[in-house]
């Protein structure tokens, strides 16, 4: 009897013999027939990684990518049947993958590609109209809390991850090597990465726990000429602000 344990081990390790008891019409062990399943698993998971990480593939080339996918898929097969989430461990894997050590930015670029997919499948949330913000007196606005859409995802890197993404996906010029912060926003259904101005990442992180005015103070402390109007403009244009909670009315 062949248990699924033995089948799985042989499936993922081509150096293992075909399990006995898997036979062809003549009753003989059938390595090439078993190899169909081996190939289906490796090819389908490799294809899922190719689709999910087009920039990584361009950066390392097809042959290198397929080789690293072959190692990755055996170390990290999907955890669930939701292939839309496959590849979560790729950034950490790339960080520790010796043949990729001369491209130290790969892991962060993989994080950006994962975040693009996460944004694509994130829960829908209707953005607020810019006029809603404009109608609130500035003092009240500064005490309000702003919530961003589930599809809005912030990434910070010591590498130019937006520049690398744009050079490969939009044929933009090769970027200078400096750190970048990126906000992925999904105005309707297509996630788009935006390169953020200085201080905006600090502002967005502060906004998670602080009202607008306090977040502005935090950002200005980090970057003296931080431009709140420009920051709000980026968020509104990307449809990323989904709710505004006004301060509680002061007790009489």
Partner 1 sequence: MFDQSPPHGLPHCAGVGYKPQHFTQIMENAGSVGWLEVHAENYMGAGGRPLAQLAALAETFPLSVHGVGLSIGGEGPLDPDHLARLKALCDRVKPASFSEHLAWSTHDIGFLNDLLPLPYTQTTLTRVCAHIDQVQDLLGRQMLLENPSNYLAFAESQMSEVAFLTEITNRTGCGLLLDVNNVFVSAVNQQTDPLSYLDAFPLDKVGEIHLGGHDEDTDDHGAPLLIDSHGAEVADPVWALLDHVLQRAGPRPVLIEWDTDVPDWTVLEAQAARAHTALATVQA
Cβ proximity to partner 1, 79 vs 158, nearer residue: 79
Q: Considering only CA atoms, which of 66, 117, 120, 43 is closest in space to residue 87?
A: 117
What 3-state class would DSSP assign to 240?
coil
Rounded to whole angstroms, the maximal C-alpha distance in the chain is 91
| Secondary structure, 3-state, 69-110 | HHHHHHHCCCCCCCHHHCCCCHHHHHHCCHHHCCCCCHHHHH
Report the nearest approach of partner 1 to the CB of residue 6 (Å). 11
Report the nearest approach of partner 1 to the CB of residue 160 (Å). 27
Question: Which residues ranging from 148 to 177 are in contact with partner 1 (CB under 8 A)?
Answer: 150-151
Query: 44, 174, 192, 245: which one contacts partner 1 (CB under 8 A)?
Result: 44
Q: What is d(CA 160, CA 237) in angstroms, rounded to the nearest whole number? A: 23
From residue 193 to residue 232, the character string flagging contacts with partner 1 as x (rule: CB under 8 A) and all else as - is ----------------------------------------
Query: 23, 92, 177, 230: which one contacts partner 1 (CB under 8 A)?
Result: 23
Q: Which residues, including other chains, have CB under 8 Å from residue 85's CB and lie 6 or more apart?
A: 78, 79, 117
Q: Which stretch binds partner 1 (CB under 8 A): 15-23, 161-169, 197-205, 228-236?
A: 15-23
Q: Does 126 bind partner 1 (CB under 8 A)?
A: no
Q: Which stretch binds partner 1 (CB under 8 A): 43-51, 104-112, 153-161, 225-233?
A: 43-51
Question: Which residues ranging from 76 to 115 are in contact with partner 1 (CB under 8 A)?
Answer: 76-84
Report the nearest approach of partner 1 to the CB of residue 2 (Å). 7
Report the nearest approach of partner 1 to the CB of residue 219 (Å). 29
Cβ atoms of residues 153 and 119 within 8 Å? yes
> 192-199 long-range CB contacts below 8 Å, 24 or more apart?
192/238, 193/112, 193/116, 193/162, 193/165, 193/166, 194/162, 194/234, 194/238, 195/162, 195/163, 196/234, 197/226, 197/227, 197/230, 197/231, 197/234, 198/223, 198/226, 199/223, 199/226, 199/231
Q: Which stretch binds partner 1 (CB under 8 A): 37-45, 107-115, 174-182, 207-215?
A: 37-45
Residues in touch with partner 1 (CB under 8 A): 1-5, 7-8, 11-12, 20-27, 30-34, 36-37, 40-41, 44-45, 48, 76-84, 120-124, 150-151, 186, 189-190
């Amino acid at each position: 009897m062949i248990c699924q344990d033995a089948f799985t081990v042989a499936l993922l390790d081509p150096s293992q013999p075909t399990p006995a008891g898997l036979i062809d019409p003549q009753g003989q062990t059938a390595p090439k027939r078993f190899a169909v399943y081996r190939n289906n698993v490796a090819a389908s998971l490799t294809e899922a990684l190719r689709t999910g990480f087009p920039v990584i593939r361009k950066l390392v080339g097809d042959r290198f990518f397929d080789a690293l996918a072959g190692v990755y898929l055996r170390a990290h097969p999907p955890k669930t049947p939701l292939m839309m989430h496959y590849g979560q461990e790729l950034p950490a894997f790339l960080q520790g993958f010796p043949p990729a050590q001369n491209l130290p930015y790969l892991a962060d670029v993989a994080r950006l590609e994962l975040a693009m997919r996460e944004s694509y499948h994130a829960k829908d949330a209707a953005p607020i109209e810019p006029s809603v913000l404009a109608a609130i007196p500035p003092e009240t606005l500064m005490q309000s809390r702003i919530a961003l859409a589930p599809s809005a995802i912030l990434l910070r890197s010591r590498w130019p991850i937006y520049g690398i993404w744009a050079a490969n996906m939009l044929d933009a010029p090769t970027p200078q090597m400096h750190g970048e912060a990126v906000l992925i926003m999904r105005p309707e259904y297509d996630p788009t990465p935006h390169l953020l101005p200085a201080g905006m990442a600090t502002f967005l992180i502060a906004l998670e726990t602080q009202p607008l005015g306090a977040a502005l103070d935090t950002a200005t402390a980090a970057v003296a000429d931080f431009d709140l109007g420009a920051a709000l403009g980026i968020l509104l244009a990307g449809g990323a602000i989904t709710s505004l909670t006004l301060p509680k009315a002061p007790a009489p």
